[in-house]
Amino acid sequence: MSHPVELRLSGSGGQGLQFSARVLAEALLRDGRTVAQSQSYEPTSRGGVSRSDLVVSDGDIDYPLVTGLDYLVILDEVAAEFPPTLLKPTATLLVDESRVQTRVAGPWTIRSSPFAEIARALGNERAGNIVALGTLLALSSLCSSASVAAALAAETPPKFLDLNSEAFDAGWRLVQPTPAAEAAHARA
């Protein structure tokens, strides 16, 4: 990665966005990346807009806040409105098609998947954030799945570890893996 990569995980409070951002940051750190993470959420515990931004680099990070997103994950309708100027023209958007009705338009690559429905089928809709994380990492090859597995084990309460591991794998399988993504997953 020659330039920093900027990501935003967004949705509503209670969807575990801050948790999935911590897992992602931990996995990136385990792979030797530099990470700056910031978060924002409305003062309501459930239902308000919640987001976590990450800036990732192989070296120093000059500015720790996002200025041009490479990846945007939208898990709920409340987060579907965003300033289009915040996205790079080459950005990839991951949208939960079961919870977001607004159709986002622009020059970006948009991938809609039923993250919440997949998580519900695994036993808990709240694992939709981890399904989306699996998809994001399969598409981006930002870090190895071994680092994600270790980060999940470190951050997840033991009674939810199996569910989160299954959710990550389900999200990973939504993507036709690129050779780089297959290699990263194989290192697990």
pLDDT one-digit tens code per residue, 69-106: 999 999 999 999 888 899 999 999 999 999 999 887 88
Q: What pLDDT, on a 0 to 100 scale, did the predictor assign at position 122?
A: 97
Strand segments, DSSP code E, in the chain are: 5-12, 34-41, 49-57, 69-74, 87-96, 109-113
This prediction has a pTM of 0.88
Domains along the sequence of the chain with CATH? 5-186 (3.40.920.10)
Chain-centre distance of CA 76, in angstroms? 13
Q: What pLDDT, on a 0 to 100 scale, did the predictor assign at position 179?
A: 56
Spatial separation of the C-alpha atoms in residues 9 and 108, rounded to whole Å? 16
pLDDT band at 44 (very low <50, low <70, confident <90, very high): low
Percent of the chain beyond pLDDT 70?
A: 90
Asked if residue 33 lies in contact with residue 57, where contact means CB atoms within 8 angstroms, the answer is yes
Using CA of residue 108, residue 111, residue 112, residue 116, what is the dihedral sign?
Answer: negative
